[in-house]
Structure 1
Amino acid sequence: MLAAGRGVSSGGGGSGLSSRLTGWDTFSKTVEEFREYTFTGGMISLLSVGVILVLTLFEFVNYLSPDRHTEFLVDSERLGTMKIFLDIDFPALRCDWLGIDAIEMSGKSQLSIENHLSKTQLGGGLAAVENSGDTASTVAKQGLTKRLMASGRASRLRNRVSPSGSAQKDAANGAPNQAFHLSQHVQPVSKDYCGSCYGALKEGECCNTCNDVRRAFQKRGWVLDSTNSIEQCVREGVVSVDGADDDSAAGVAGCNIRGYVEIDKIAGNLHILPGRTYEAEGQLLYDANNIEFSKMNLSHTIHHFTIGDSFPGRTNPLDGASKTMQEDGYPGQHEYFLKVVPTAYKSIGWWNRMRSDIADTYQYSVTEYFHRVSEKDYISSQPGVYFVYDLSPIAVVYEDRRNSFASFLVQLCAIVGGVFTVSGMLDSSIHTSAKVVQKMRMGKKD
């Protein structure tokens, strides 16, 4: 009896707590016998589950996909350098005719740029340079092209490297479209050899290579009209262009220029000209006397042109641009005016953590202009392709961010609750409408 009493007392206390909690129950239940199951309700339930699964999948994909936030700042870092990556075809000009120069607003210039650039002649054939008398001959193998120089255009291919930084393979392997490396074909000279500078330098000073002769002429402000009579140039296979024999001698269709140019972070221009730009007595001079004006076909295709490293989502407006000169047209200046915007890209890793590596790169917008050059204006306006760039004082910062896992759970609960609420309202409406229609039919029968 005593044990039973204790049990009743304990049960009474538990019953009181249960009754108090029951009053807070907002999820009322109906007795199983009074529940009604319908075909429509079953269809809506299955449809609701399918909608929940699809929306959950979309939300999960959205959770894994970071959002890109954009911020604009004043660019306070005006020092440093930037790289211009390019890949351009000139189908109507040979590689030895083309030179690349970069001139900055500060007055600093890079002339006849070679480092990190490779020139590949489009096409191939047998090319030979022969000379009688005491001068030597240089014969290139099948698949190579003769290294020609146009009126002092020193587009030297020696020690040229590709954009990846590795040296180009020797063209003597016979591989098509390989850059010709003069260093593999120059005839050796004796150790005590001292080449003539042809009056450009003082007596006793030596010019042992064709480039030495060119630099000596530049130092005096002279123009080297022809290299055919320069012993060093003939020995190296560097000869001037002889007009009508150009195409037959070269056996090539054009030139591809690929690589990158590193310049200071300051406004300036990068240009590709048929001819040679050199500095003499503090002035920049242009020389293309041996290139016929009618052959300056500057038709070109820009496969790739970008500034700085790439990052996801960036577009390069000049990629795929192509310009063609008509057969009866005049050559001219193809000018691309670039507005360069400094850009920082912050990527994101797993667990919503920012990576330590931040890509400092650049974006640009471009406008184009073509100025036709007649043969009378040839001296003052040099035909070529000009990339004139200016830097914006405003920098853009892109930062990828991913939503937190807690926000994903909140969205998931909203999906489940919302779908069940809407489906319950839909089922209730259909069920009530069916009851009303059924009562109306029964009333008509009565």
Structure 2
Amino acid sequence: MSDLLDTFDKMPKIRQFDAFPKTQSIYTQRSSRGGLLTVVVSCLLCFLLWTEFSEYLYGERAYSFHVDDTVSSSMQINIDMTVAMQCHYLTIDVRDAVGDRLHVSEREFTKDGTTFEIGHAGRLDALPMPDLSVDKTISAAKRKSFLPSYSKRPQNKKFHKQPAFQKTAHVVQDGPACRIYGSMEVKRVSGNLHITTLGHGYGSFEHTAHELMNLSHVVHEFSFGPYFPLIAQPLDSSVEITKEHFTVFQYFTSVVPTLFIDSRGRRLKTHQYSVTDYSRNIEHGAGVPGIFIKYDIEPIVLTVRERSTTLVQFLVRLAGVVGGVWVCVGYAFRTLDRLGRVAKTVSHGGRTDDSPEGYAASYGYQRPSHIGGLTVDRRSTSSGWLNGGADTVEAMKQKWAGLGQGGAPKTHRKVDSVQQRIFSEEGRAW
């Protein structure tokens, strides 16, 4: 590793980009703790970089609420569900807070005989909620924006190319189940959508036999406002099963007008809702069996705005994350390492490895001896260096005596102490 760092240090084209002085790698100490910390910080930086990159690609959502100041007298309800009864025995009605009752005919909702299949549906409390981006939601809605009324009638030539609802996969004339699908306009007030059987709940000349009643159902799609297939709603793909003939299924929904705004400024107005479900079995004559969907309109508007960062902002944040984490971790590591060295010094009551003597001792040097004007280096035999001892001292004395008598030696070599070498190297580094 040291050889690799030395190779990079010798390259002038690389060193000229470094504006800060660095100590040569030979004078730095590496430890397993530092290597482990480098690996951990690198993994952390990879995670942070991926987070920043994901936010740059997909943006982030900002939610806000404000009072609904729009004036509207009607609202659209979209429904697509299958009930485990023949279509002939089912009736659909709407009651609102004004007191009006509307019987829904086949002009609004279509009934197709079919078989009762659960498919991929599940219970309401076990269904995951898909989370699509605002851009995908608006793009899918804009592709269907040429449909003026989002009608459900696939046989209508005006909407034959792209009907709002798919055709029934298995149409069975007078089948054991009934698929009910379509859209209708209702007053923009609280109301209740009823799906009941003939002769139970509303006056009818026909009475449904009790053994034929089974209100098990699968909700394929239920929404308010313009029909956009990619906007996930809580009741979508939910199922309720019962073996009793007299069962009441109740859904309490709270409708919130919603405005989607993507990063390009495109807008989409629709409705979202929350739902609470309740079901119970009743005795004959103690209530009306059926499927009841109660809806309340909230007086607020939810705005979902998608925000994205520019390339310059992304690069600045990227540099800030990398530099900030690396510098802060480096300072923290050096501080803890220095505290550890101080604690070690206090425990041993002597020399630290940061002092020149300690640094020289790690390389096998000891404090030099000064005899007159000469410096004698002592080298420990444990590091493989020779120890001159008394003979070296006597030789130095004779050499000094010769200099005093004018007899200069033929050659002269300046000998620097280890401490001077260390200081000179550090001085050149800084």
Q: TM-score range by the shorter chain?
A: 0.5 to 0.7
> Residue 109 of structure 2 aligns to which amino acid in structure 1?
L
Q: 1:61 aligns with which of 34, 46, 54?
A: 54
1:59 positional shift: 1.7
Q: 1:367 aligns with which of 253, 258, 276?
A: 276
> Secondary structure at 1:59's aligned position in 2?
helix
> Secondary structure at 1:60's aligned position in 2?
helix
Distance (Å, rounded) in 1 between the aligned partners of 2:88 and 2:184: 19
CA offset digits 1:206-254 (Å, max 9, x no partner): xxxxxxxxxxxxxxxxxxxxxxxxxxxxxxxxxxxxxxxxxxxx5x321
Paired position in structure 2 for 1:291: 208
Q: Which runs of 5+ in 1 are unaligned?
A: 1-25, 125-158, 169-174, 181-249, 278-283
Paired position in structure 2 for 1:253: 176
What are the equivalent positions in structure 2 for 1:256-275 lying under 5 Å apart?
256-275=179-198
> Residue 418 of structure 1 aligns to which amino acid in structure 2?
G
Q: 2:256 aligns with which of 333, 337, 341?
A: 341
What are the equivalent positions in structure 2 for 1:36-47 lying under 5 Å apart?
36=27
What are the equivalent positions in structure 2 for 1:323-402 lying under 5 Å apart?
323-326=240-243, 329-349=244-264, 354-355=265-266, 358-370=267-279, 372-377=281-286, 381-402=287-308
Q: 1:103 aligns with which of 95, 100, 124?
A: 95
What CA RMSD, in Å, does the superposition of the two structures yield over aligned residues?
Answer: 4.5
Distance (Å, rounded) in 2 between the aligned partners of 1:160 and 1:401: 34
Q: Given that residues 80 and 220 in structure 2 are in contact (C-alpha distance below 8 angstroms), is that contact kept between their aligned partners in structure 1? A: yes
1:331 positional shift: 0.9
Distance (Å, rounded) in 1 between the aligned partners of 2:306 and 2:299: 23
Distance (Å, rounded) in 2 between the aligned partners of 1:370 and 1:267: 21
Does 1:81 pair with 2:74? yes
1:334 positional shift: 1.9
Q: 1:300 aligns with which of 189, 197, 217?
A: 217
> Residue 375 of structure 1 aligns to which amino acid in structure 2?
H
Q: Return closer, same or farther for 1:167/1:253 CA change in 2, 3 Å cut-off.
A: farther
Q: 2:323 aligns with which of 398, 401, 417?
A: 417
1:295 positional shift: 1.9
Matched residue count: 292
Paired position in structure 2 for 1:130: none
Q: 1:316 aligns with which of 200, 216, 233?
A: 233
Q: 2:21 aligns with which of 26, 29, 35?
A: 29
Q: Return closer, same or farther for 1:67/1:30 CA change in 2, 3 Å cut-off.
A: closer
> Secondary structure at 2:104's aligned position in 1?
coil
Paired position in structure 1 for 2:414: none
Q: 1:403 aligns with which of 297, 300, 309?
A: 309
1:89 positional shift: 1.8
TM-score (norm 1): 0.53
Q: Given that residues 152 and 181 in structure 2 are in contact (C-alpha distance below 8 angstroms), is that contact kept between their aligned partners in structure 1? A: no
Q: Return closer, same or farther for 1:288/1:44 CA change in 2, 3 Å cut-off.
A: same
Kindly name which structure, 1 or 2, has the bigger radius of gyration based on alpha carbons: 2
Q: Return closer, same or farther for 1:370/1:406 CA change in 2, 3 Å cut-off.
A: same
Paired position in structure 2 for 1:149: none
Distance (Å, rounded) in 1 between the aligned partners of 2:37 and 2:235: 55
TM-score (norm 2): 0.54
1:269 positional shift: 1.2
CA offset digits 1:128-162 (Å, max 9, x no partner): xxxxxxxxxxxxxxxxxxxxxxxxxxxxxxx9824
1:398 positional shift: 1.4
Q: Given that residues 199 and 207 in structure 2 are in contact (C-alpha distance below 8 angstroms), is that contact kept between their aligned partners in structure 1? A: no
Q: Percent identity?
A: 25
> Secondary structure at 1:79's aligned position in 2?
coil
CA offset digits 1:407-446 (Å, max 9, x no partner): 3233122134225525755886899879568746958969
Q: Given that residues 112 and 178 in structure 2 are in contact (C-alpha distance below 8 angstroms), is that contact kept between their aligned partners in structure 1? A: yes
What are the equivalent positions in structure 2 for 1:134-153 lying under 5 Å apart?
none
1:316 positional shift: 2.5
> Secondary structure at 2:107's aligned position in 1?
coil
> Residue 272 of structure 2 aligns to which amino acid in structure 1?
Q
What are the equivalent positions in structure 2 for 1:13-24 lying under 5 Å apart?
none
1:72 positional shift: 1.4
Distance (Å, rounded) in 2 between the aligned partners of 1:90 and 1:389: 20
1:65 positional shift: 2.5
Does 1:71 pair with 2:71? no
Q: Which runs of 5+ in 2 are unaligned?
A: 1-17, 117-150, 162-167, 342-351, 367-379, 384-430
1:330 positional shift: 4.3
Paired position in structure 2 for 1:119: 111
Distance (Å, rounded) in 2 between the aligned partners of 1:337 and 1:346: 28
CA offset digits 1:336-394 (Å, max 9, x no partner): 12121222121223xxxx12xx22222222223345444335xxx44221111111122
1:31 positional shift: 9.1
CA offset digits 1:76-122 (Å, max 9, x no partner): 2241433222222212x101211222222224443133235332222
Does 1:178 pair with 2:93? no
What are the equivalent positions in structure 2 for 1:157-172 lying under 5 Å apart?
161-162=153-154, 166=159
1:321 positional shift: 3.3
Q: Given that residues 97 and 189 in structure 2 are in contact (C-alpha distance below 8 angstroms), is that contact kept between their aligned partners in structure 1? A: yes
What are the equivalent positions in structure 2 for 1:1-20 lying under 5 Å apart?
none
Q: Given that residues 293 and 375 in structure 1 are in contact (C-alpha distance below 8 angstroms), is that contact kept between their aligned partners in structure 2? A: no
Q: Return closer, same or farther for 1:416/1:317 CA change in 2, 3 Å cut-off.
A: closer
Paired position in structure 2 for 1:226: none
1:43 positional shift: 6.9
> Secondary structure at 1:286's aligned position in 2?
coil
Greater RCO between the two (CA within 8 Å, min separation 6)?
A: 1
